Amino acid sequence: MTVGRRALLTASLALPFASAAAREAWTRPAGVTPDASIALWPEGHLRPPPGLVERAVQRSDDPDASDRMLEGIVRPRLDIFRPAKPNGAAAILAPGGGYRYVVIDKEGYELARWLRDRGVTVYVLFYRLPGDGWTGGADVPLADAQRAVRLVRSRAQADGIDPARVVFGGFSAGGHVAASLLTRFDARVHDPVDAADTLSARPDALAAIYPVVSMDPAIAHAVSREKLIGAAADAAREAAYSPDRHARADQPPLWLLHAGDDASVKLDNSLRLHAATREAGAEVEAHYFAAGGHGFGLMKAAGLPVAIWPELLWNWLAAQKIV
């Protein structure tokens, strides 16, 4: 599929999203909060680096469109959004932030609310950042992602979900967390700490949305690369942390979304993972749009053909029997 063809095919379908009412639907006032928040690891298990301080920073001056980021994460956790009528599906979301911080609203709570309103129990993952000095370095985000899947499955009865219907989704650098989990769901990146760690960390489906994928300097997102593996990383380290180099036949079904005019994370990231997944013989569905830029989420997609993406994702999740 060439970039732009999807935009032409879906332009008419996207018209309802272009209205002011549709744009209002994606705004998320700062007062909206999750139903619960649970620590990813048992109390006392983690030792935060000395001097690391967690803080939330508001980047928006519009009270009806909160855009916060969380930096210096010392308590990795899952913020839970519970639907009024659960359908048994669970979604874990890893927002982006260039491995410098984790976005709260735009790529976390926005989609969480959208999925929750359709019956999905949603867990927004606030993962540790590799440049903050944690023991484990570049493997820290993956360890948190593995732990998140296992912990969610361990809570199946309490949260009313089916442990065989767990999807993991990631945006931008969170897309790299997702893509790493895609190909390294069984990598030993942390020691077991409780019964939850006996469960599988392989999601039943995985979505990567404008994802950082390759550490190849020719197409890598420079900030994410520097925070993850260092600016002077050699070719072996680049390869080790480029999920497109590790695609495998038994990886979860993959869904990709990217805009051709993304100036921050090049489309080639998704194209490489797409090609590698096909070559490995694993399942993949991809949607490439001509326009959308980077970090469009839900609200910033309003008025563009790419605004149809949540429905495309929903239809794919239905085909995968997640929802």
The confidence band for 62, taking pLDDT boundaries of 50, 70 and 90, is confident
- Nearest alpha carbon to residue 169 among 204, 139, 197, 196: 204
Output the pLDDT for position 286. 98
Residues in the chain: 323
Residue 80 CA to residue 12 CA, distance in Å, equals 35
Backbone phi and psi for residue 292, each to the nearest 5 degrees, phi listed first? 155, -25
For residue 270, pLDDT over 90 is answered with yes
Residue 32 is predicted with a pLDDT of 66
Average pLDDT for residues 263-275, to the nearest whole number? 98
Q: What is the CATH number of domain 5-319?
A: 3.40.50.1820
Lowest mean pLDDT among 5-14, 72-81, 199-208: 5-14
- Is residue 2's pLDDT more than 60? no
| Torsion 70-74-76-78 (CA) sign | negative
Taking only the tens place, the pLDDT of each residue in 226-245 is 999 999 999 999 999 999 99
Residue 270 · residue 256 · CB < 8 Å: yes
Q: Which of 17-21, 42-46, 80-84 has the lowest mean pLDDT?
A: 17-21
Q: pLDDT for 96-129, tens place per residue?
A: 999 999 999 999 999 999 999 999 999 999 999 9
Mean pLDDT of 176-197: 97
Per-residue pLDDT tens over the stretch 120-143: 999 999 999 999 999 999 999 999
Q: Is-above-0.85 flag for pTM?
A: yes
Chain-wide mean pLDDT for the chain?
Answer: 90
> What does DSSP say about strands 102-103 and 166-171: parallel, antiparallel, or unpaired?
unpaired
- Residue that wins the pLDDT comparison between 58 and 252: 252
CA angle, residues 319, 322, 323, in degrees to nearest 5: 85
DSSP annotation string for 41-83: S-TTS--PPTT---EEEE----TTS--EEEES-SS-EEEEE--
CA 80 to chain centre: 15
What is the pLDDT at residue 23? 34
Question: CB count, 10 Å around CB of 47?
Answer: 9
